[in-house]
Chain A
């Protein structure tokens, strides 16, 4: 059996075991499969193989990346780099486009509008700019086979025209090839963009097909992405068909729907023009409503005008008014005599049919209505006129008593709330009424008379009775009757006399009782009785008494302005005049003065230099015998007195002047030094009393020359022989010279404002008796005086004295018998005053 099997299938068994061995040995199996794998893969169905390999390849790629990403990056680098570069380029283009458009429109009118739009919508300005400026339309889309340039599909936008798309697509590829070849460009992507005027050709290159879009206008760069997306989608869906495209586009007919989405891409300026339809529709709605509103407003206005017109009507009170649903309602009160509200409607353009009025009648108390009603009810006679005066109804004219009483009744009825009906101006035309009228006129005339007081008056049975007070000085009531048309026979008066306290009556009575003198005048000043003038005290006493009597209730009697002319008063007046005269005197101070028992006493201070008070009495009519004065002397510090005293005490030289300037005593001029020092001493004394004596402006008299001359004069002696009183002839030249010198000196001194006096002193020697010597010396001086006088020296300037032996020029020798001739002389001394 085994052998048989060996024989039958032995070769197969060995072959089978070889195969089994091959399958069991992985190395051998791998070697076997590996040798056929490429061929098997090539022969396998692409789809199935792809399906089978996809997970493996994916995992392998994953592993490779996990292991070392660089490897795959290096592989893919040439593929990605152009894509990335292109994408970045597009982004940059996009940015530039946005920037360009923004700049282009930034200052234009559009720019402003778009800026507003950006603000309104919250978008950025550049977005809005792009939105408006990128107006474009995709007119054609060509899907072109990449290798042959044959047209796969072509879609055209509405109204877009083009030549044969087949030719165009081929030419486009040709141009792409041309560019690529011409510039040796190795880029896979080919020509991106062709621009010609308004048209742009954008081509997106896919693995098998190129999508060319023809765009009119200014497309945004983002459009690239949209087109690319479409191309990608087409590649996704039709990759098989595209890959094997052989010019038969029937399989790819449905691509056109994809392309259609591209063609629908456009952005058109919303140039819809003015929305006439909307405006018309809005107007259609607005105009009728506007008209309706206007009409209802107008009718409301008219209604209001009517209502205010009605309300302003006297006798109509509008209580309520309203306008509702085009109907007008009004309600209120109206006087039957008032205007008809219905008739007021005419001319108001308010439709009477739409007015619903509800009026209640009432009696208006407005004066004109009351007047109407009174006119109707009272039927006044023609002589009576009714009128409205300041809300009062006034009846004027004449009427008989019956009408008046009816009117009075009506007036009383009216008085509750209504206007006053004044019938007082209606004169009763009956005789009694006339007489009463005249009587009343007479009474009121009496009432206005001063000094008449009407206490009571009445009319009874045609008789008139009056009673009251009257001042005897007032007008006679009886005489006042004349001209009043009142019958004196029917008047019964009863007057009591009284003294009126009215000023004019008081004045009259005072004048009668006081018998004022002609020098006194009585008058009424502000309800006071004033007496003015002069009167003896007896009259004044009487007037005072009268004034005291009057004071109770009557007007005041003022007699203060009446001067007492009695002798004592006059003397006192004179005395006061004298006192005031004394007080006005400078240097006199009145300390006290009084008048007692007709005697006048005065005491005070007086400066010795002031006026004599006694002397001032003359002309004052004051009897000096009745004046008792007591004056203390004092030195007035009044500058005038000070000047007087200074002049008396200092006897200033003529070259000096004293003046009073602003309370200060100023001494000006030239004076001898001695006088100046005396003046300064006086100034010091006075300053203690507060009197300023200004001697600073005194200048010392220049007496240098005079001094020289004085020296010469005073060293001159006239010598005498013993026992002689006449100088010898040898003395004549000396005397001549001396006389000249004296005259010159006197003259110069006079010029300087001082008086020079020369003292001639006679001397004797000691021989002889003393008395003889004294007389000899005096005689000698007298002789020289006479001799000098003889020589022209004024005698009043020459004073003489005899010094005897008491002022010897040289000491006498007691034992000398002849005496010293030097001492027998006359010496001269100079005095300045």
Chain B
């Protein structure tokens, strides 16, 4: 059994919870987020030779970076950075969070999800910016919690990265 702790980071209302709701095993209700500040879910990703259990720590998203509980990230081997594609500010939040985590625990694999891709009309992130980030070698997915597009791919990608 191989399992990895993965933290999902993102600003307020970027759709982290919605992302996992459909694709993961969960036993805890969303109220944990507002009470304990964290919600644990699991996503099993099967590869031909092994199965990786991603233990997803869904951290309560807040725009106030100062209140972010870094301690929750301890022991994590990967990150899922979630950005709301309709709100450019959330990209900055995600990046800031990543920086803080890396400062604390060192660099670790991550995937960057631009969520709410279904809301094309309200999309506010220029493609050039995304490409720039791709140039850095980052794994970037335009996902939709609504349609489910690229969600599986993103988790699979992250699983292969952490299970190496």
Contacts and interface: CB of A to CB of B under 8 A. Distances in A.
Interface of B: 1-5, 25-28, 32, 36-38, 40-42, 53, 55, 57, 69, 71-72, 74-77
Given A166-B3, A170-B5, A178-B37, A247 B72 contact: no
Interface stretch (A145-153, A735-743, A825-833): A145-153
Interface string A144-180: 0111111100000000000110111011011101101
Given A166-B53, A167-B25, A170-B57, A178 B3 contact: no
A145 B72 contact: no
Nearest to A250: B1
A416 B25 CA distance: 124
A178 B70 CA distance: 11
A550 to B, nearest CB: 151
A167 B3 contact: no
A246 interface: yes
Contacts of B71: 177, 180-181
Contacts of B38: 171, 174, 177-178
A168 B27 CA distance: 9
A163 B26 CA distance: 10
B36 A175 contact: yes
B72 A174 contact: yes
A426 B44 CA distance: 137
Interface string A14-42: 00000000000000000000000000000
Nearest to B76: A148
A208 to B, nearest CB: 11
B73 to A, nearest CB: 10
Contact of A249 (B1, B25, B41, B69): B1
A148 B74 contact: yes
Contact of B3 (A150, A175, A177, A180): A150
- Pairs of residues from A and B, 7 with the lowest C-beta to C-beta distance, nearest first: A148-B75, A147-B75, A148-B5, A170-B40, A163-B27, A247-B3, A174-B38
Contact of B75 (A149, A166, A178, A181): A149
Interface string A224-258: 00000000000000000000001111100000000
A146 B71 CA distance: 12
A187 to B, nearest CB: 14
Given A174-B36, A177-B72, A178-B37, A164 B42 contact: yes
Given A166-B42, A167-B28, A170-B55, 10 more contacts: A147-B75, A150-B4, A150-B75, A166-B55, A168-B27, A170-B5, A170-B40, A177-B74, A181-B69, A249-B1
Contacts of B28: 167, 171
Contacts of B69: 177-178, 181
B72 to A, nearest CB: 6
A480 to B, nearest CB: 147
Contacts of B77: 148, 246-247
Contacts of A248: 1-2
A147 B40 contact: no
Interface residues of A toward B: which range? 20 to 34
Contacts of B42: 164, 166-167
A147 B3 contact: no
A181 B67 CA distance: 11
Residue picked from A148, A151, A246, most chain B C-beta under 10 Å = A148
A174 B57 contact: yes
A305 B45 CA distance: 97
A654 B77 CA distance: 167
Contacts of B76: 148
Nearest to B1: A249
Contacts of A174: 36, 38, 40, 57, 72
Contacts of B1: 248-250
25 contacts: A145-B75, A148-B5, A148-B77, A149-B5, A150-B75, A164-B25, A166-B42, A166-B55, A167-B27, A167-B28, A167-B42, A167-B55, A170-B5, A170-B40, A170-B57, A171-B28, A171-B32, A171-B40, A174-B38, A174-B40, A174-B57, A175-B36, A177-B71, A247-B5, A250-B2
A696 to B, nearest CB: 134
A231 B28 CA distance: 28
A164 B4 contact: no
B3 A249 contact: yes
A805 to B, nearest CB: 180
Contacts of A151: 3
Residue picked from B55, B69, B71, most chain A C-beta under 10 Å = B55
A599 B143 CA distance: 192
Contacts of B37: 178
Nearest to B44: A166
Contacts of B27: 163-164, 167-168
Contacts of A146: 75
Nearest to A146: B75
Contacts of A148: 5, 74-77
A113 B147 CA distance: 68
B20 to A, nearest CB: 12
Interface in A159-209: 163-164, 166-168, 170-171, 173-175, 177-178, 180-181
Nearest to A172: B40
A163 B25 CA distance: 11
Residue picked from A145, A168, A177, A246, most chain B C-beta under 10 Å = A177
Contacts of A149: 5, 55, 75
B33 to A, nearest CB: 11
A168 B3 CA distance: 14
